[in-house]
Structure 1
Amino acid sequence: MIDLHSHILSALDDGASDVATSVEMARIAVADGITHMACTPHIFPGKYENSATTIMPALHSLQAMLDAQSIPLTLYCGADVHIAPDLVERLKSGEVPTLNRTRYFLLEPPHEILPPRLEDFASRLLEAGFVPVITHPERLSWAGRHFDVIQRLSDLGCPLQLTADSLTGAFGSAARQLCERILKEGRASFFASDAHGVSWRKPGLSGAYAMIAEQFGQEEADRMFRRRPAAILSNAEPAAVLPSSRETVGAAAGQGFTRRLIDRIFRNG
């Protein structure tokens, strides 16, 4: 499986506190069946001032440690990006890293308050050629009251990333109910762990994978935990990332679909 949302890099945000924790998180991920993981520390102006210059060296260092210890986890760059007025410019400059340097990046809206004109902000990002993946919409405290905003973001062509632990119930009944509603409406693109440590919020996708396979079939589980994340890493057209009911939305943001990285992931993973 492929996990595109993790806080495995140490001492950059509220995730892994040290390198030993990072390595143990990697071991847990591999034991759970995860073969590829995006390192996505927060970029939150005024709180977590990360950028490519802090993320990339930490990623390369951790990958070297995993390789030296024969831990078979392949890492990719990324960030869990918060809303900022200059985000388009920072994405264009490469200061804010996208997922494996593709058009896709994780966008985390504020948890407690619905920001004004969120759909307009997402539209500007799409028009600039970047595809914001909305992270864990089911865990946003305002999402239940303003579910129409989540629907409109989905209709614009923003992939929705659900948290595996939301489906299994670890984030409570409200998050699980919203997760199930997004799934029922056919709006979920893929699941990720959003792992932060080695106890609660540890890396893990297999429990949610089993539930999706049981409820929606093995093929859909493979799409949500392998094929769509792989398509993102290969910079595929949005049609390969969005759920089938929305596969034509957002195509203007795209380039041609390349199979090379996907084939390599599946061959090696």
Structure 2
Amino acid sequence: MTSEFTDFHCHLLPALDDGAVNLRESLSMARTLSSFGFATVHCTPHLIRGGYENEPARVIRAVQLMQRRLDDEGIHLRLVPGNEHYLDQYLPEMLPTALRAGNSRYLLVEVPFHSGPELLRPMVQTLASHGLAPLIAHPERCSAFDPARARGGLWGALAMVLGNEPEPQIDEGSEIVELKRLGCRFQGNLGSFAGYYGYEVRERALLFLRHGLYSCFGSDAHRGEKLWEMLTAGYAVVESVLGEAGTRELLRGTLLANGA
């Protein structure tokens, strides 16, 4: 593949969080990402108070050091400093100095996997007051966006999995559609389409894809092992739905750059 894609979510930097454990693994991941077709990688280690204290200055320094090493190794990737900001009570105080997704107004935000939607709309308003908008990481992995919520919670989910209901749809008034209207954008994981996180996540990812909810993709790569297989399998699934042109548009980040 030609190098033209942008990875908006990657744990490439060594020994900062639960991503690459050392420089050797970072270099292995970088070679795989470059070979796949990524030209730009947003390095987004977790920023969680009391967990991963990856403040912007620390990430910027790590990116500078890693970029020099990639250049020395002849690995053609442009690294961009960022964070995966955890949505909790500490997020508002981080906003004045937060690392955005490149030069955009978007801030990569991780919604707690088992949270409800009550956290989300206040987040949009808080970010907007700082001239920012949320880029929500892998919404397909978050129960807040599960279409089964509108179909009776656990029973609805079981019915969908067992095939006792028609294929789920997303209502125009659903939380994820309303959040997109309010300015949120959504980043999908290629691994979700490959089944990397299980059947239910894969089905939600496909549902969101068919409804045009994603603005960009990321590898969310944490390890070098089987990274190539995950990327190529995810790409093939997306391409089977959108075709080559649509898939490449999402992988380039064109929609996010245009605010779509």
**2-structure distance, mates of 1:21, 1:222:** 27
Contact 1:3 1:193 in 2 (8 A): yes
**2-structure distance, mates of 1:226, 1:18:** 28
Task: Name the SS of the counterpart of 2:136 in structure 1.
Answer: strand
1:255 is aligned to none
Unaligned runs of 5+ in 1: 243-269
1:195 is aligned to 221
Structure with higher Rg: it is 2
2:200 is aligned to 174
| Of 107-116 and 168-177, the range deviating more from structure 2 | 107-116
Query: Which aligned runs of 4 or more in structure 1 are off by greater than 4 angstroms?
Result: 200-204
1:265 is aligned to none
Cα deviation, residue 125, structure 1: 1.0
Q: Does 1:217 align with 2:248?
A: no
Unaligned runs of 5+ in 2: 151-173
2:123 is aligned to 121
Q: Does 1:226 align with 2:252?
A: yes
1:9 is aligned to 13
Cα deviation, residue 202, structure 1: 6.5
**1-structure distance, mates of 2:18, 2:82:** 16
**1-structure distance, mates of 2:27, 2:60:** 17
One-letter amino acid matched to 1:128 = H
Q: Select 2:233's aligned residue among 180, 200, 207.
A: 207
One-letter amino acid matched to 2:184 = C
One-letter amino acid matched to 1:178 = R
Alpha carbons of 1:118 and 1:163: their partners in 2 closer, same or farther (altered >3 Å)?
same
Contact 1:81 1:106 in 2 (8 A): yes
Contact 1:8 1:196 in 2 (8 A): yes
| Of 78-87 and 203-212, the range deviating more from structure 2 | 203-212
Q: Does 1:110 align with 2:136?
A: no
One-letter amino acid matched to 2:47 = I
Task: Name the SS of the counterpart of 2:57 in structure 1.
Answer: helix
**2-structure distance, mates of 1:4, 1:190:** 7
Cα deviation, residue 57, structure 1: 0.8
1:246 is aligned to none
Q: Select 1:77's aligned residue among 63, 77, 81.
A: 81
Alpha carbons of 1:152 and 1:202: their partners in 2 closer, same or farther (altered >3 Å)?
farther
Alpha carbons of 1:85 and 1:170: their partners in 2 closer, same or farther (altered >3 Å)?
closer
**2-structure distance, mates of 1:128, 1:146:** 31
Contact 1:32 1:204 in 2 (8 A): no
**Matched ranges for 1:55-74 at <5 A:** 55-74=59-78
Contact 1:196 1:202 in 2 (8 A): no
Contact 1:91 1:98 in 2 (8 A): no
1:20 is aligned to 24
Cα deviation, residue 89, structure 1: 4.2
**2-structure distance, mates of 1:198, 1:86:** 31
2:176 is aligned to 150
Alpha carbons of 1:152 and 1:34: their partners in 2 closer, same or farther (altered >3 Å)?
same
**1-structure distance, mates of 2:226, 2:60:** 26
**2-structure distance, mates of 1:197, 1:124:** 33
Cα deviation, residue 193, structure 1: 0.7
Alpha carbons of 1:81 and 1:227: their partners in 2 closer, same or farther (altered >3 Å)?
closer
Cα deviation, residue 101, structure 1: 4.5
Cα deviation, residue 203, structure 1: 9.0
Determine what percentage of the aligned residue pairs are the same residue.
32
**2-structure distance, mates of 1:58, 1:75:** 10
Task: Name the SS of the counterpart of 2:118 in structure 1.
Answer: coil
**1-structure distance, mates of 2:102, 2:61:** 14
Task: Name the SS of the counterpart of 2:9 in structure 1.
Answer: coil
Cα deviation, residue 91, structure 1: 2.2
Task: Name the SS of the counterpart of 1:113 in structure 2.
Answer: coil
Q: Does 1:185 align with 2:211?
A: yes
**2-structure distance, mates of 1:44, 1:110:** 11
**2-structure distance, mates of 1:68, 1:160:** 34
Aligned residues: 232
Q: Does 1:134 align with 2:136?
A: yes
